[in-house]
Every structure is written in structure tokens, then in C-alpha cells.
Structure 1
Amino acid sequence: MAGYYPLMLDLRGKTCIVVGGGPVAERKIRSLLDADAEDVRVISPTVTKGIAELARSGSIQLRLGEYLEQDIDGARLVFAATGDPDLNRCVAAAAVVRGALTNVADDSAYGDFVTPSVIRRGDLVMAVTTGGASPALASGIGRDFMARYGPDYAGKVERLRELREHVRLRLADPDERRDLLRLAAEEALAGSLDELTGSSDADRMDEWIRRLRAAADRRQT
């Protein structure tokens, strides 16, 4: 079994092709849209109601018809999800020639990558995979993550992003920046992010920094 290198891709401006129109293809399409993919193109003679609705809304481009090799010209990512193993392998072979990364549904050996179970909480993205060995296990672990890291983490991550930017502007010492940001992350994990008061965002961030400095001083005594 091949090992996989985990990474997060920025799909803005990248052409993503999905060949197939069934439920598996629809899941692939929705995962791309969840990742803010802007150029998703789907090729299939028939599609689910969900895919048809996404096409009507303008979220994806849809060509109803049989797959043609030129359909994947210019693609950065290709998903072969037709339900026909032989056709999927043909799609994958054509994608390799074009230098596109390829995922083959239910047959990871013929593709470049597998799609993990993904949990999104705003900018917090957690991905779990077993390398295709047990998608059910990856899904189960993903559900555990969803229960542990609830929807409130979207707001926590946004606040930590704001703090990080503010700290970079306010504090010159890189060690102090690192220590305060680590303390803030610990607060988020412990569920103890307090409400901040102040007349402006800058005031609130300054208050947070003062509180974190006080906590850091207490740790050193």
C-alpha cells in the first residue's frame, strides 16, 4: 500500500473535473464546492437531482453526454466516479498524460490521491484517512471529531486569526508572540475564551494581550 503525503490545496482558479453523475460523483462535487473550488466541471450522460440543481444554480458547469478524452484538458484535479471501473481507469490514464492529479472512486490504486473524511469548522479543517483501507473507520473518527470540536470552533479560529495579526503588529519579540499565541490556543481548547470588551476591535485585542501576558507572568512565578 502506497503512503500518502497530506496537504491542503487552494482550489481557487483551478479547473476540477468530475466524470460521473451518480451519488458518489455528487459527494465529490460537493466536497469541492465546500473547499471553495470555483471552476468545477461535470461530465456524464445522466446526473442526480442534486447535481442538476447545482448546475441550474451556476455552482458547476455540466455537460450531459458521454465522456470524451478532451473533456479533461486543462484540469488540475480529475475525479473518475462513473461506476464503471474500466471507464474510470481510462479517465485516470488520460489525466496522467495531462499531468492532472486524479482520484478514482473505489479504486485508489489507479489514482494519485484519496479523499479523506473532512470536518470543517470555519477555517479549521480536519481530515482523516485510512489510505482507502477502511473509509468507514475514517468516517467514524470524523464523527468523533465533529462531536469534540463543535460549531463554536469556527468563531474561535476567527478570533485567534485576529489575535495573531494583532500580535504581529504589536509585539516585536518573536518568543513572546509565540508564547502568547500558544496560551490563546490553550484557552480555545479548554473552552475558556472570555468575552472581550472594548470600544473597537483593536481595544479588544489589546485587552486580550494584556490578559495573556498576565497569565504568562503567573506561569513563570
Structure 2
Amino acid sequence: MLLAGGGQVALRRATTLLSHRARLRVAAPEVLPLFERWEAEKRIQLFRRVFKESDLDGARLAFACTDDPQVNQQIVNSALSMGIWVESCTRAEGANLYPGGVIHSGSIALAISSMGKSPIVTQALRECFEEVFGADWGDEIDQLISEAGDEGGSHRISPEELKRKVRESVFMQVKRWGERKTTS
């Protein structure tokens, strides 16, 4: 897997990929300090230089996250010609991979995507949901799941009641957020 870029956008993408134990090669002339630490810990392979097409050799996925749209387009074109899935962090047109924003809490994950039309909108929506729901909202949903019983048929509450309680929990989170916003 290739990640081209060493700035904030590349760092966010690398953090997500490494959390899923990706084997990551990073190509960038300059990188943030965390990339250097990951290299020292042997979590990434770091090439301190601009992207070269040969960086894609053996890759199945590529992420064009440089601050130069022309370089990102070069990466997209090269990856596509080699049959590699590729995301561009500056322009979705032409790329064939559109990772959305994912919010995790407890055992719940919410995915948000603009289908590649606007990564900025996807990011803004993810940030809004994170602000509204906070870090622990999934724990409350997990508790409801526990109270409801297992999927094997021994429900302690009906599916309709579970849906009602989940909706109530979500709306309460939104209400609490609104109250925090009006008092701050």
C-alpha cells in the first residue's frame, strides 16, 4: 500500500490505515514527526523523496495525499494504468477509491460518504456527528443491545421497542448537544 504525502491529510489517512494493521510505504520529501517515529518503530517504510512511479510496484492501493494537485493526478493516472485502486485527496475525478468518513464508538460504526464528490463535505459531516454525539454515544447503544437480548430469538424486548429506544437515545444526544451550544 502506498501513501504519497507527509502532511496533515496524509497523517490522518496513515493513522486510519495503521489502525487496521496496513503495511504502508510512504513517499514524501518532508514529513510530520509522527511519520519519523513510525519509521523508527518499523510500522512504515519511509522514502524521503517525491513520488516515483516505481513506488507503486507491488501496491494494491494508493493514496495521493500530497499538497500538489498535479502530483496527485500523476499518482492517480499511474495507479489506474497499473490496475491499482487509488484515492486522491485533492480531486476525486479519475480516482476509483472513495473512502468515506467513519465514526467509531463502542461496537457501532457510522460511515459517511459523498461518493467522491466532495471529501471536504464528508470530513465536515464526520466532524459534526463527532461533535454532536461525543466519544461515548456507542456505549449507550451497546447497553440497549445488551438489554434487548441476543439475535438467536430470546429477545427481552421487541424489535420495535429496541428501535424506539435507539431513536430516543439518538434524539437525546442531539438535544444535549443543543443545550451545550446554547449555554456556551
Q: TM (normalized to structure 1)? A: 0.61
- Distance of 1:138 and 1:87 partners within structure 2: 23
Aligned pair partner of 1:31 in 11, 16, 26: 16
Aligned pair partner of 2:69 in 85, 110, 117: 85
Please state if 1:186 is matched with 2:171: no
Q: CA deviation at 1:136?
A: 4.6
Q: CA deviation at 1:78?
A: 0.6
- Distance of 1:84 and 1:191 partners within structure 2: 43
Q: CA deviation at 1:18?
A: 0.2
Deviations 1:83-126 (A, max 9, x none): 23332222212211332211112121131133433322133222
After superposition, the Cα gap between the structure-2 partners of 1:88 and 1:141, relative to the gap in structure 1 and judged at 3 Å, is closer
Give 3-state SS (helix, strand or coil) of 1:118's partner: strand
Aligned pair partner of 1:40 in 20, 24, 38: 24
After superposition, the Cα gap between the structure-2 partners of 1:72 and 1:136, relative to the gap in structure 1 and judged at 3 Å, is closer
- Distance of 2:16 and 2:141 partners within structure 1: 21
**What amino acid sits opposite 1:150 in the alignment?**
G
**What amino acid sits opposite 2:2 in the alignment?**
I
Q: CA deviation at 1:42?
A: 0.9
- Distance of 2:58 and 2:25 partners within structure 1: 11
Aligned to 1:18: 3
Aligned residues: 169
Aligned to 2:108: 124
After superposition, the Cα gap between the structure-2 partners of 1:24 and 1:141, relative to the gap in structure 1 and judged at 3 Å, is closer
Aligned to 1:112: 96
Paired-residue identity, %: 24
Contact 1:160 1:185 (C-alpha < 8 Å) held by counterparts: no
Q: CA deviation at 1:73?
A: 2.3
- Distance of 1:140 and 1:84 partners within structure 2: 22
- Distance of 1:64 and 1:152 partners within structure 2: 39
Give 3-state SS (helix, strand or coil) of 1:107's partner: coil
Unaligned runs of 5+ in 1: 1-15, 193-221
Contact 2:29 2:48 (C-alpha < 8 Å) held by counterparts: yes
Larger radius of gyration between Structure 1 and Structure 2: 1
Give 3-state SS (helix, strand or coil) of 1:99's partner: coil
Deviations 1:43-91 (A, max 9, x none): 1232111222232334323222343323222322211122233322222
Aligned to 2:34: 50
- Distance of 1:185 and 1:39 partners within structure 2: 40
Q: TM (normalized to structure 2)? A: 0.71
Aligned to 1:69: 53
Q: CA deviation at 1:164?
A: 8.5
After superposition, the Cα gap between the structure-2 partners of 1:150 and 1:68, relative to the gap in structure 1 and judged at 3 Å, is same
Q: CA deviation at 1:159?
A: 4.9
Unaligned runs of 5+ in 2: 171-184
Please state if 1:94 is matched with 2:72: no
Contact 2:106 2:136 (C-alpha < 8 Å) held by counterparts: no
Contact 2:148 2:162 (C-alpha < 8 Å) held by counterparts: no
